Amino acid sequence: MQDGTEVDVSKASSSIKTEARDRRVIDDADQQRGVLTTKTYICGKCDSDQVYAELQQTRSSDEPETRILTCAECGHGWREY
Ligand SMILES: [Zn+2]
């Protein structure tokens, strides 16, 4: 008398990939972004010409890229298109 069901374990094994990445959230909202430029952009707040500039590509090619500008002197941030 055979009682007991055999379960095929090899088929039931699920391949769950766990991403063991070391994720660190860096709050860089207050940091300057991009490269420091001089005499290219003028801060509208303190008239400084030391401005960090970072290009941000938009997804669609129709739209121009956005320059994220951050003043190195006072930290004032703005955008140019
Ligand atoms: Zn400024």
pLDDT band at 11; cut points 50, 70, 90: low
State the distance from the centre of ligand 1 to the C-alpha of 4, rounded, in angstroms.
78
Domains and CATH numbers, the chain: 29-81 (2.20.25.10)
The model's pTM is 0.56
Q: pLDDT tens across 18-39, in order?
A: 556 666 664 554 556 799 999 9
Strands (E), the chain: 35-38, 50-56, 66-71, 77-80
Distance 79 CA to ligand 1 centre (A): 13
Ligand 1 mean position, distance from CA 75 (Å): 6
